[in-house]
C-alpha cells in the first residue's frame, strides 16, 4: 500500500506534509533536528507530531510534560527560548532515544499559535542567534495554517502533491553547488510541482529602477533587463506586494514583463516579492496561458517558498560577502 492510498487517514497526510515542512526548516537553519510537539489541550502534555533529523534516533512516541526540559519550558511559558548547552552538560530535550542528546550544544524553540512548540537543535556550540528567532517564529506561525488546509481539504492526495515540493527544495539545498545551478533546478521544480507552464526569477539590476531576469523555466526571453514601469513584475518591484490572478475574469491580461515580442500571453499568474531585511530584492513569478485555480493550498505553498527563498538569498549573499572579504585580504597581503 502506498502513502497515497485512500485507506490512509488524513492524519497520515498531515504527518507527511509536516515532516516535509520541517525538512525545509532544517535546511534553512542547517539544524541537526527539527521537532514539532502539540498538546491535546492547553495544559496537557505534548505529543511529537512531526520531525526531521540528520540522525535516526528521534523517539517518534516522545511525550513532553508542561515545564519539563527545554521543550516543556517553551510549552508552559509560551515564549521563545534560545539556549546554549555548556560542555559536559545534558540539554534535557526528551526526544532522542540514544546518546545523541549528549552531543547537542545549541537549542532554539518557539511557541506555535493555538498550542504547540517548534524546536530545533545543533551539535555546534553557539550555533543559533537572536536574529534567527524571528524567522523561527514566522515558520511556527505557518504550522496552524498548514494544519487547517489539511483539515479542510477534501482530497489529501492533492495537498500532498503540492507540499512534496518542500521536500524537493530541502534536498536541493543540501546539494547546493552554486547559485546558477541551484536557480535553474529550483525553477523547474516549481513549474512541475506547482503546475505552472512558466516560472521566472528576477532580481534588481545595477541600473536604477530596472530588474534583471536571472533565470526562467523554460527559457523564452532574449532580452533580460526590464524597467519597473512595465508589466506585473515591475509593479511588484515598485509596490512590494503579491499579485495573484486566476485568469478567469473578462479583463484583459497584463504582460508579465511589459511588451515583449513573441512572448506568450499568460492569463494566470502569481508574482511574489522576495524580501531580504525588509527590502524587495527579487520577484518570483509563476504563470500559465490557461486559467488556474489559485486555491488556499497553492497560496500557502508559494508563500512558504518565497519566505524560504528570501532566507536562502540572505545566506548566499553573506557567503559571497565573506568570499569577497577573504579575496580582498589575500590581494592586500600580496601587495605588501
Residues 16, 85 within the same domain = yes
Residues 129, 239 within the same domain = no
Residues 93, 197 within the same domain = no
Q: Between the CA of residue 242 and those of 238, 249, 266, 272, 306, what are the distances in Å?
A: 11, 18, 17, 5, 11
| Residue 17 within any structural domain of the chain | yes
CA-nearest of 231, 185, 186, 225 to 207 is 225
| Residue 63 within any structural domain of the chain | yes
Residue 236: per-residue pLDDT: 96
Mean pLDDT, range 112-117, rounded to an integer: 93
Whether the predicted pLDDT of 83 surpasses 70 = yes
Residues 248, 123 within the same domain = no
Give the tens place of pLDDT for each residue, 14-32: 777 888 889 989 988 889 9
SS3 of residue 124 by DSSP: coil
Domain of residue 78, CATH code: 3.30.450.40
| Residue 267 within any structural domain of the chain | yes
CA-nearest of 38, 33, 42 to 11 is 38
Mean pLDDT, range 67-75, rounded to an integer: 94
Q: Between the CA of residue 97 and those of 61, 102, 116, 117, what are the distances in Å?
A: 10, 11, 21, 19
Residue 13: per-residue pLDDT: 62
Residue 53: per-residue pLDDT: 95
Residues 205, 288 within the same domain = yes
Sign of the Cα pseudo-torsion (249, 255, 256, 260, in order): positive
| Residue 260 within any structural domain of the chain | yes
Residue 176: per-residue pLDDT: 81
Q: Which domain holds residue 208?
A: 177-310
Total structural domains in the chain? 2
Distance CA(216)–CA(219), nearest Å, equals 5
Residues 36, 142 within the same domain = yes
| Residue 172 within any structural domain of the chain | no
SS3 of residue 33 by DSSP: strand
Residues 104, 227 within the same domain = no
Mean pLDDT, range 50-76, rounded to an integer: 94
Mean pLDDT, range 293-317, rounded to an integer: 82
| Residue 203 within any structural domain of the chain | yes
Residues 138, 186 within the same domain = no
Distance CA(297)–CA(33), nearest Å, equals 26
CA angle 11-12-16, nearest 5°?
115
Residues 191, 92 within the same domain = no
Distance CA(239)–CA(234), nearest Å, equals 9
18-32, 231-245, 254-268: range with highest mean pLDDT? 231-245
Amino acid at each position: 500500500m502506498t502513502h497515497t492510498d485512500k485507506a490512509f487517514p488524513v492524519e497520515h497526510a498531515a504527518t507527511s506534509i509536516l515532516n516535509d515542512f520541517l525538512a525545509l526548516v532544517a535546511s534553512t537553519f542547517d539544524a541537526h533536528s527539527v521537532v514539532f510537539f502539540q498538546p491535546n489541550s492547553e495544559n496537557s502534555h505534548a505529543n511529537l507530531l512531526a520531525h526531521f533529523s540528520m540522525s535516526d534516533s528521534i523517539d517518534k512516541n516522545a511525550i513532553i510534560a508542561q515545564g519539563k526540559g527545554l521543550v516543556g519550558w517553551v510549552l508552559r511559558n509560551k515564549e521563545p527560548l534560545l539556549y546554549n548547552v555548556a560542555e559536559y552538560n545534558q540539554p534535557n530535550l526528551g526526544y532522542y532515544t540514544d546518546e545523541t542528546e549528549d552531543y547537542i550544544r545549541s537549542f532554539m524553540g518557539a511557541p506555535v499559535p493555538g498550542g504547540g512548540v517548534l524546536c530545533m537543535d545543533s551539535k555546534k556550540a553557539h550555533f543559533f542567534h537572536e536574529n534567527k528567532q524571528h524567522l523561527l517564529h514566522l515558520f511556527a506561525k505557518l504550522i496552524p495554517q498548514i494544519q487547517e488546509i489539511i483539515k479542510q481539504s477534501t482530497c489529501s492526495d492533492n495537498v500532498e502533491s503540492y507540499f512534496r515540493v518542500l521536500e524537493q527544495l530541502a534536498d536541493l539545498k543540501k546539494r547546493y553547488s552554486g547559485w546558477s545551478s541551484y536557480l535553474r533546478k529550483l525553477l523547474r521544480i516549481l513549474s512541475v510541482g506547482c503546475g505552472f507552464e512558466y516560472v521566472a526569477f528576477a532580481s534588481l539590476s545595477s541600473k536604477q529602477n530596472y530588474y534583471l531576469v536571472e533565470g526562467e523555466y523554460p527559457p523564452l526571453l532574449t532580452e533580460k533587463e526590464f524597467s519597473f514601469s512595465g508589466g506585473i513584475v515591475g509593479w511588484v518591484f515598485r509596490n512590494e506586494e503579491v499579485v495573484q490572478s486566476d485568469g478567469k475574469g473578462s479583463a484583459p491580461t497584463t504582460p508579465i514583463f511589459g511588451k515583449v515580442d513573441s512572448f506568450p500571453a499568460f492569463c494566470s499568474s502569481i508574482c511574489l516579492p522576495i524580501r531580504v531585511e525588509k527590502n524587495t530584492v527579487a520577484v518570483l513569478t509563476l504563470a500559465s496561458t490557461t486559467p488556474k485555480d489559485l486555491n488556499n493550498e497553492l497560496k500557502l505553498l508559494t508563500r512558504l517558498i518565497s519566505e524560504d527563498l528570501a532566507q536562502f538569498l540572505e545566506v548566499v549573499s553573506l557567503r559571497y560577502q565573506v568570499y569577497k572579504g577573504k579575496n580582498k585580504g589575500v590581494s592586500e597581503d600580496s601587495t605588501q
